[in-house]
A and B are shown apart, each in its own frame.
Chain A
């Protein structure tokens, strides 16, 4: 297998186009000093000079789509808080655990103040006076950087009482997760914050904005979503939208991994850059790692149905990717080359979901483990022909119709997520599964012997 050299970033390269990762390579970008030096905490001053409704309108106009998975416009979601119900909470979803996804971690590690400022703006806009930063427990550096930043921000008067001399107050609490992927799902996250088992709540209510933490209006936003807010407030909705192809406005950060030469996190104009560019362009992942050509790729995290070479020229645009039957989801692109053992890759992904199923609803709890067991048996050479149809059938029982966005017999999309790799792989690479199934000659012999 060809070795590859990690490409050194050239600091000047396209910096002016970056929104959320602009301080990524600055050695002290994560400190208050570094942040202030590069214009930090100006946006919150500007926001405080405007009315909350004004800020919401600006964010709505910016078409800031949620970066956590579902891609729902943030400004619209903020408007769902029922009027007159207080207190309200802001919850930051920093649980990022989807295989292949590591963009929020980078943002928290390299630019924690930007996230805090985003929290201030969002909280001011929706009228929250308490914010919880729920950060995946395993992200030690992110936890540390955020804790330090939070202390700095409190000491400097950016968080706490009477922020920047206004009468706006916000407390931010850092809350470490305890190691469950499902807690990234916003209602499970809320349960976990309440001290309960992290299991999703049933919908409706469709958004915690109506009934969330402790039964009160709660806005849950992804780390990257919030990190965009300082820019939007400072430069305006138009400047933001101009970076992308609205409604896929602004930039999006993608984590590219797998068989590429230069895996990493890349911020690209949203809706403009194509998969081919982000995978093959030297500014980004730099092409396939070895000789083998691309076989398939996952466009938006382990949950997303797979794409194939014919999808490479699709732009990284929400509507277009959705229309092609998958999603940009968590912003993780996983590239598989021709050497990939598809049944094994499939098993690897399904095993993840089976282990991470919270156990609340029957089809996911039982079904994902069953899928994993059948795949394991096939890999071990003990599968039978009927297993492939059965796999498809089990998938149907979890996610009727096998389409994306999924219909589901489950409570949350985790169950159907386990179905994605199987339905994608079976559809395209059925022969690879069949090749794993032993031909049963023995049966006839035995039957003859019995006579």
Chain B
């Protein structure tokens, strides 16, 4: 693409000549030039409203100086600006005085005290004393506007930031202005609380202490807090500022990284720091007592030597392939690398998989040309969404894409089983019946005859085809649901990549560090750097001393092998297959059949409760390192607090085990691990430890083209080497329903469950049915239905839902409303269910 460089605009600010980008707002241009203009309502990530009037400056565009709000005014050539002239200063002083008239000045008991823009600007620009002797306006002191957020209307300065955020950014206009004049207030509508997945952002951007969040209220004063920039280990790798005091994390705030989250966070992530200090954290190593079956605390040295012995015995007696390691997606890249080196380089097994059976083909993900979030949001582009609802699992990606759809001429095509939160903004929103994703993708890529394909009108498919011809394509590629075989999506991806060689792919893998894990080889057949065992084992053998000979097993195969007695020692790295693996029965059987189950984890999960050896690990806020997000962007993770009890870093555990197994990882800090990785893997070579710590946007991992005279290095995976998997098309019979096992943000997961502020938000899932289907089934008042598949059956509560198409039934995974996994059987392309109203009386 050709970028047309518009010439810079020249203007004069306070007597100094500056330049600015065309169209830039004056306030931003001044800030860039080091001239700070006081403001309250202006927020660089939202539309300017010019309401507070704090940013008034004197502007002369040839017709004499006039007061103008600098947050509304785009720069223009030759503009002369005075930000501190008598008139400007007087206007600013006046506005500040007006704002303080009715402000309660309860700073000593206000959470914002010490970090309050109103307080700061009053100190800097304010009149010093109040001339206001009238009675101040009174409102009931803080009123809850949701379970999480409280609003103190007396402190509010009506800057419209919270309300704009809710409306413009989150698309949930649940708060608004009411009444008028000096009685104007922000409030919710009757019976409609501010229940938004993103409500915490309003607290962060409120320029006064009007909005407070329960998890932080009265917890600390800003001057007691230390602040460090880190990365929240979710799929987007949201940049956060971690606020801690006295070895406690007190709050998280979004940091405005241009490349990542633009300052936003979802509530689920923002408030999840509560889990860090949960009393349920694992604090010390434990061992299962042979006779009683009870867990007993032991020292690290005995736990580790037993773990090492279990690994050595398995290798000695049954070969390295009798050892397997599952999980690791939640770890920092350094921990992941340390474990990969331990397992593949020292133990010698390739049975490693960071995915829990809910991911996609690792080789494919490594081979597909990777898109950045910026690619997806690039003006003029097309985005093809093949996944579930972004809002549920990829909060800040949802916000960024939503913004791009609304403001930047990005066209969205949805190929999803259910309507999503973005459907109303999509150019074309196609409902792909579970199992038909690949079929419909093919239909989209070649002209079709007939009225419709798999229930989708041919016209719509043609519309998509013509749009994809005109716009550069980014595919957001994730699992549509656990109940559809991943082959459908994988096949679709390969077809798309072949048809559109310029297309880029953003893998939507929900577990935070999965992409980073694959990048360091945490999957069978892979080695660090998105390379295969076949191409790179020599390279790593020479670096590590050893490397696996043959491709190992993935999670499903490991569990099958375990159930068949072939896996003797299984290590779970923060993995909970009992809850997360799509086939719960297989997970249970597998875990029960191994001789030694070793769990490295933060919490006592269902899988940990089956373990023989439990090793407590350090989690978010307690470890230093690097996170790699879905784009393959590396950003720094920093530590603020010490882990509970004697919990240790994952890389330390790996290093210890290596030593006990007679090897040496050669890693004695995360930095060692990263630098070794960057030395060995061309993919990681461009990201120096320092650069990661100085650039807010981190580094997008990319292998540089090989330079002349460089030592031989591993070749990355090539798409051309991959064959599209066959995706079985199951004829649609019209009698049964196709199941969609999707996700909801407040589920029964460990993190939500261990955050008091979030746990209450978890609701039992409902079996969601199209309204017509719901009515046809004659469900009783209690909504009870029995859902049966060839694999099993469950009782659920049905609910009509417009977002579900006919003949589809959706049930979220991991809630108290029924486990859809009971209905799934391994290998099935789709899950067909029968639904009957249950007569429960």
- The residues of A with any CB-CB pair to B shorter than 8 Å are 180, 182, 197, 202, 354-363, 365-370, 373-374, 377, 390, 396-398, 400, 407-411
Min C-beta distance of B63 to chain A, whole Å: 13
Contact (Cβ within 8 A) B53 A366? no
Check if A409 sits within 8 Å of B182, measured CB to CB. no
Q: Is B45 an interface residue (CB 8 A)?
A: no
Structural contact, A355 and B181, CB atoms closer than 8 A: yes
User: What are 12 contact pairs spanning A and B, CB under 8 A?
Assistant: A355-B181, A356-B180, A359-B158, A359-B182, A363-B53, A365-B158, A365-B182, A366-B101, A366-B182, A397-B91, A400-B90, A400-B91
A6 CA / B353 CA spacing, docked (Å): 96
Among listed B27-35, B92-100, B615-623, B794-802, interface-contacting one: B92-100
CB-contact partner of A180 in B99, B157, B180, B182, under 8 A: B180
Apart from A369-B182, A409-B53, list 8 A-B contacts with CB within 8 A: A202-B49, A202-B69, A355-B181, A361-B53, A363-B94, A397-B98, A400-B87, A409-B95
A390 to B93, CA, bound (A): 14
> How far, in angstroms, from A113 to B184 measured CA to CA in the complex?
39
Report the separation of the CA atoms of residues A370 and B133 in the bound assembly, to the nearest whole angstrom: 10
Distance (Å) between the CB of B85 and the closest chain A CB?
A: 12
Contact with A along B177-189 (1 / 0, CB 8 A): 1011111100000
A400 and B67: CB pair below 8 A?
yes
Instruction: Kindly state the separation between the CA atoms of A411 and B53 in the bound complex, as whole angstroms.
Output: 8
Interface residues of B in 589-629 (CB under 8 A from A): none
CB distance from B607 to the nearest CB of A (A): 52
Which residue of A has the minimal Cβ distance to B178?
Answer: A197
Chain B residues, Cβ within 8 Å of A377: 134
Question: Measuring CB to CB, which residues of chain B are less than 8 angstroms from any residue of chain A?
Answer: 49-54, 56, 66-67, 69, 72, 87, 90-91, 93-95, 97-99, 101-102, 131-132, 134, 157-158, 176-177, 179-184
Cross-chain contact B91 with A409 (CB below 8 angstroms): yes
Distance from B192 Cβ to chain A, minimum over Cβ atoms (Å): 17
> With a CB–CB cut-off of 8 A, which chain B residues contact A202?
49-50, 69, 72
Residue of A nearest to B179 (CB): A359
The 6 closest A-B pairs by CB, nearest first: A359-B184, A397-B94, A366-B98, A369-B182, A357-B181, A373-B134
Which residues on the A side are within 8 Å of B50 (C-beta)?
Answer: 202, 361, 411
Which of A356, A370, A408 is packed against the most chain B CB atoms within 10 Å?
Answer: A370
- Nearest neighbor of B69 in chain A, beta-carbon distance: A202
Expressed in whole angstroms, the minimum distance between the Cβ of A379 and any Cβ of chain B is 13
Report the Cα distance A365→B51, complex, angstroms: 10
- Main secondary structure, interface of B, reads mixed
The interface residues of chain A lying within 8 Å CB-to-CB of B69 are 202
B72 touches A359 (CB 8 A): no
Tell me the smallest distance from the CB of A356 to a CB of chain B, in Å. 7
Residues of A within 8 A of B99 (CB): 362, 366
CB <8 Å contact, A370 and B98 = yes
Contact (Cβ within 8 A) A362 B53: yes
Contact pick for B180, options A358, A363, A366, CB 8 Å: A358
CB distance from A369 to the nearest CB of B (A): 4
The smallest C-beta distance from B160 to any residue of chain A, in angstroms, reads 8
Task: Output the residue of A362, A365, A377, A397 with the most chain B CB within 10 A.
Answer: A362
Q: Give every chain A residue within 8 A of B53 (Cβ-Cβ).
A: 361-363, 409-411
Contact B67 A407 (CB under 8 A): yes
- Are the C-beta atoms of A363 and B87 separated by less than 8 Å? no
Distance, CA A220 to CA B91, complexed state (A): 31
Q: Which residues of B contact A366 (CB under 8 A)?
A: 98-99, 101-102, 182
A197 x B177 contact (CB < 8 A): yes
Contacts of B95 in A (CB 8 A): 362-363, 397, 409
Contact of B181 among A368, A373, A374 (CB under 8 A): A368
CA distance A324 to B753 in the complex (A): 73
**What residues of B have a CB within 8 angstroms of the CB of A360 in the complex?**
51
Which residues of A have CB within 8 Å of B51? 360-362, 411
Known: A409-B67, A409-B94. A374 touches B134 (CB 8 A): yes
**Cα of A359 to Cα of B87 in the assembled complex, Å:** 24
In the bound complex, how far is the Cα of B94 from the Cα of A397, in angstroms? 5
> Are the CB atoms of B131 and A390 closer together than 8 Å?
yes
Q: How far is the CB of A317 from chain B (nearest CB, A)?
A: 26
Beta-carbon contact of A357 and B180 below 8 Å: yes
How close is A247's CB to chain B, nearest CB, in angstroms?
22
Which residues in A have their C-beta under 8 angstroms from that of B134? 370, 373-374, 377
Report if A354-B181 is in contact (Cβ < 8 Å); known contacts: A374-B134, A407-B66, A411-B50: yes
A402 to chain B, nearest CB (A): 13
Give min CB distance, A415 to chain B, whole Å: 10
Give the residue name and chain of the B residue nearest to A408 (CB): B67
- For B96, give the chain A residue with the smallest CB separation: A362
Contact A357 B90 (CB under 8 A): no
CB closest residue in chain B, given A411: B50
Cβ–Cβ < 8 Å partners of B158 in chain A? 359, 362, 365
Whether the Cβ atoms of B180 and A370 lie closer than 8 Å is no
Partner pick for A365 among B49, B56, B184, CB 8 A cutoff: B184
- Please, which residue of chain A has its CB at the minimum distance from the CB of B94? A397
In this complex, the member of B54, B179, B181 whose beta carbon has the largest number of chain A beta carbons within 10 angstroms is B181
- In the complex, A390→B134 CA distance in Å? 13
* Neighbouring A residues of B97 by C-beta, 8 Å: 397
CA gap between A334 and B730 in the complex, in Å? 82
Contacts of A197 in B (CB 8 A): 176-177
A361 partner residues in chain B, CB cutoff 8 A: 50-53
CA distance A360 to B93 in the complex (A): 19
A356 touches B67 (CB 8 A): no
Contacts of A374 in B (CB 8 A): 134
B696 vs chain A, min Cβ distance (A): 32
A365-B181 in contact (CB<8A): yes
Q: Tell me, in angstroms, the Cα distance from A428 to B93 when the chains sit together.
A: 28
Q: Which residues of A contact B49 (CB under 8 A)?
A: 202
User: If the complex has contacts A197-B176, A366-B99, A373-B134, are A359 and B181 also in contact, measured as CB distance less than 8 A?
Assistant: yes
Interface centre among B52, B66, B98, B158 (most CB of A within 10 A): B98
Bound-state Cα–Cα, A285 to B30, Å: 57
Residues on A with C-beta less than 8 A from B131 are 390
Point out the residues of chain B lying under 8 angstroms from A355, CB to CB: 180-181
A357 touches B182 (CB 8 A): yes
User: Which residues of B are found within 8 Å of A396, using beta-carbon distances?
Assistant: 90, 94
Tell me, in angstroms, the Cα distance from A2 to B179 when the chains sit together: 42
Who on chain A is nearest to B180 by CB? A359
- For residue B56, which residues in chain A have a CB less than 8 angstroms away from its CB? 409
**Least CB distance, B86 to chain A, in whole angstroms:** 10
Which residues of chain A come closer than 8 Å to B182, judged between CB atoms? 354, 357, 359, 365-366, 368-369
B426 to chain A, nearest CB (A): 21
Within the complex, the shortest CB–CB distance from A78 to chain B, in Å, comes to: 25
Interchain nearest-CB distance for A224 vs B (Å): 27
Measured CA separation A306–B91 after assembly (Å): 25
Q: How far is the CA of A355 from the CA of B179 in the complex (A)?
A: 10
Q: CA–CA, A397 to B180, complex, Å?
A: 21
Given contacts A202-B50, A407-B67, contact A359 B91 (CB under 8 A): no
A390 to B87, CA, bound (A): 18
Shortest CB–CB separation between residue A101 and chain B, in angstroms? 20
Bound-complex Cα distance A374 to B132 (A): 9
The smallest beta-carbon distance between B693 and chain A, in angstroms, is: 41
Q: Nearest Cβ in chain A — how far from B43, in angstroms?
A: 16
Distance, CA A410 to CA B182, complexed state (A):
14
Q: Which residue of A is nearest B73, CB measured?
A: A204
B residues near A365, Cβ cutoff 8 Å? 98, 158, 181-182, 184
**A367–B98 touching, CB < 8 Å:** yes
B22 shortest CB reach to chain A, Å:
16
Residues of chain B within 8 A (CB-CB) of A397 are 90-91, 93-95, 97-98
Which B residues are in CB contact (< 8 Å) with A356?
A: 180-181
Nearest B residue (CB) for A369: B182
What is the bound-complex CA distance between A197 and B158, given in angstroms? 14
Task: Looking at the assembled complex, report how far the CB atom of A95 sits from the nearest CB atom of chain B, in whole angstroms.
Answer: 15
Closest to B56 in A: A409
- State the CA gap A172–B158 with chains docked (Å): 36
Across the two chains, which residue of chain A brings its CB closest to B67?
A409
**CA gap between A197 and B160 in the complex, in Å:** 13
